């Protein structure tokens, strides 16, 4: 098997690269990388393996220079003779930003970039599988507090909280326009946070939100809403196993499902046990978020309900000193709180039927392995590009 992989240095793509490289069935993995030289690209790939001291096989892992924003990418891939024997494409690259200021970049990467890959892929003579790493959250914000199944998406009528999920929905539709169904495999991970192993997580994505919530302690969100969260190692293992499995479907949730879902309440108990010097967690109604934002701007009316939580307001002033820092934090955290309110649980029965992997360990349990990393996260830096 000869694989072409995008997003090889990202959270999911990096873990997929390492996991795929360990499979004897895989002969070559061509990795699309944005680098000036092949030497620089190799160095970046080697860092992916060095993070957890995995073996890096230079004969098996081959960089391909290029990026999703290059208008000549399709032509460049078509003219690359070493790619003619590629029979599997794993498209993991994506701009995952939730920030509205990045919406244009998100669309160019996730729709424009994918289109360029597809225009090359559809003419590959030996292509067997196009594996697209999507997201279960394409179901949108209108679906609330229930189990979501694969066949409910993509739905053009879905309302999206952020541009990212919209582009991933459009991506699935694009793939179906360019490729026959028998060549399509879509993996839709739920929320990927951290690693279940006692290792340095490959990326602070999502962990940043948990670290921020941990620092704030007064949180305007429903603490009992279900959260479908999985670790990146489980996601990568499940996706790779699916690639080699005798599959009965073309679309799969890679998720915690009903057995492995957690809640903010359960996560808070795990965090409280480790960070016991902070005030106790207090979850308040989402409607108070606007009052929090007004307080951070010194515009909150004196009779506002938020003042009944003065202990936490004093704690914020002591901890953050400058209220502008709180404004930055809540601006970055806003979409995460919106997602947390939805109560999504993504059905994983298809995955468990076709792959012998078992359920993911719940996040409130496996996150114990990442506490030292969470403690060191710079939450203000993370808030700038959530």
pLDDT tens sequence across 290-321: 999 999 999 999 999 999 999 999 999 999 99
Q: Please report whether residue 342 resides in a domain.
A: no
Look at residue 55 and tell me whether its pLDDT is greater than 70: yes
* Residues of the domain holding 85: 2-189
Structure tokens at 182: 């028998």
Structure tokens at 79: 């003219």
> How many CA within 13 A on the CB side of residue 179?
31
Q: Please report whether residue 103 resides in a domain.
A: yes
**Which pLDDT tens digit goes with each residue over 59-93?**
999 999 999 999 999 999 999 999 999 999 999 99
> pTM of the prediction?
0.95
Q: Please report whether residue 212 resides in a domain.
A: no
Q: How many domains does the chain have?
A: 1
Q: Please report whether residue 238 resides in a domain.
A: no
What is the distance between the alpha carbons of residues 147 and 271, in angstroms, rounded to a whole number?
A: 26
Q: Please report whether residue 298 resides in a domain.
A: no
Buried/exposed code over 58-82 (b: 16+ C-beta within 10 A; e: otherwise): eeebbbbbbebeeeebbebbeebee
pLDDT value at residue 386? 56
What is the distance between the alpha carbons of residues 295 and 326, in angstroms, rounded to a whole number?
A: 10
pLDDT value at residue 383? 82
Q: What CATH number should be reported for the domain holding residue 132?
A: 3.40.50.720
Q: Please report whether residue 124 resides in a domain.
A: yes
Q: Please report whether residue 91 resides in a domain.
A: yes
What is the distance between the alpha carbons of residues 255 and 365, in angstroms, rounded to a whole number?
A: 16
Q: What's CA 85's distance to the chain center, in Å? A: 30
Q: Please report whether residue 57 resides in a domain.
A: yes
What is the distance between the alpha carbons of residues 344 and 190, in angstroms, rounded to a whole number?
A: 9
């Amino acid at each position: 098997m000869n694989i072409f992989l995008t997003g090889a240095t990202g959270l999911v793509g990096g873990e997929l690269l390492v996991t795929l490289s360990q499979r004897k069935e895989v002969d070559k993995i061509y990795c699309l990388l944005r680098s000036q030289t092949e030497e620089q690209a190799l160095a970046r790939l080697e860092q992916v393996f060095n993070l957890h001291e995995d073996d890096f096989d230079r004969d098996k892992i081959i960089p391909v220079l290029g990026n999703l924003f290059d208008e000549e990418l399709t032509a460049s891939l078509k003219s690359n003779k070493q790619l003619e024997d590629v029979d599997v494409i794993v498209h993991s690259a994506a701009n995952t930003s939730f920030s509205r200021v990045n919406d244009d970049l998100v669309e160019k990467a996730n729709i424009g970039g994918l289109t360029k890959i597809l225009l090359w892929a559809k003419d590959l003579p030996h292509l067997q599988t196009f594996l697209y790493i999507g997201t279960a959250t394409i179901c949108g914000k209108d679906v609330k507090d229930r189990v979501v199944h694969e066949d409910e998406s993509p739905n053009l009528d879905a309302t999206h909280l952020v541009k990212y999920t919209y582009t991933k929905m459009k991506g699935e539709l694009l793939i179906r326009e360019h490729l026959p169904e028998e060549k399509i495999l879509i993996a839709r991970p739920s929320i990927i946070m951290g690693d279940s192993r006692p290792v340095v997580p490959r990326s602070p994505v999502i962990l940043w939100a948990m670290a921020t919530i941990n620092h704030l302690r007064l949180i305007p969100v429903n603490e009992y809403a279900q959260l479908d969260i999985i670790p990146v190692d489980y996601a990568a293992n499940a996706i790779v196993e699916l690639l080699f499995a005798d599959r009965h479907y073309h679309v799969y949730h890679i998720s915690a499902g009903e057995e492995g879902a957690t809640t903010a309440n359960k996560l808070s108990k795990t965090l409280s046990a480790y960070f016991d010097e902070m005030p106790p967690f207090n979850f308040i109604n989402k409607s108070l978020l606007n009052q929090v934002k007004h307080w951070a701007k010194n515009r909150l009316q004196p009779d506002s309900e938020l003042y009944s939580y003065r202990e936490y307001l004093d704690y914020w002033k002591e901890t953050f000193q400058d209220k502008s820092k709180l404004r930055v934090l809540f601006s970055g955290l806003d979409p995460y709180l919106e997602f947390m309110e939805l109560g999504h649980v993504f059905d994983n029965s298809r995955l468990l039927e076709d792959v012998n992997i078992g359920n993911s360990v719940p996040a409130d349990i496996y996150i114990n392995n990442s506490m030292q990393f969470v403690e060191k996260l710079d939450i203000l830096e993370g808030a700038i590009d959530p």
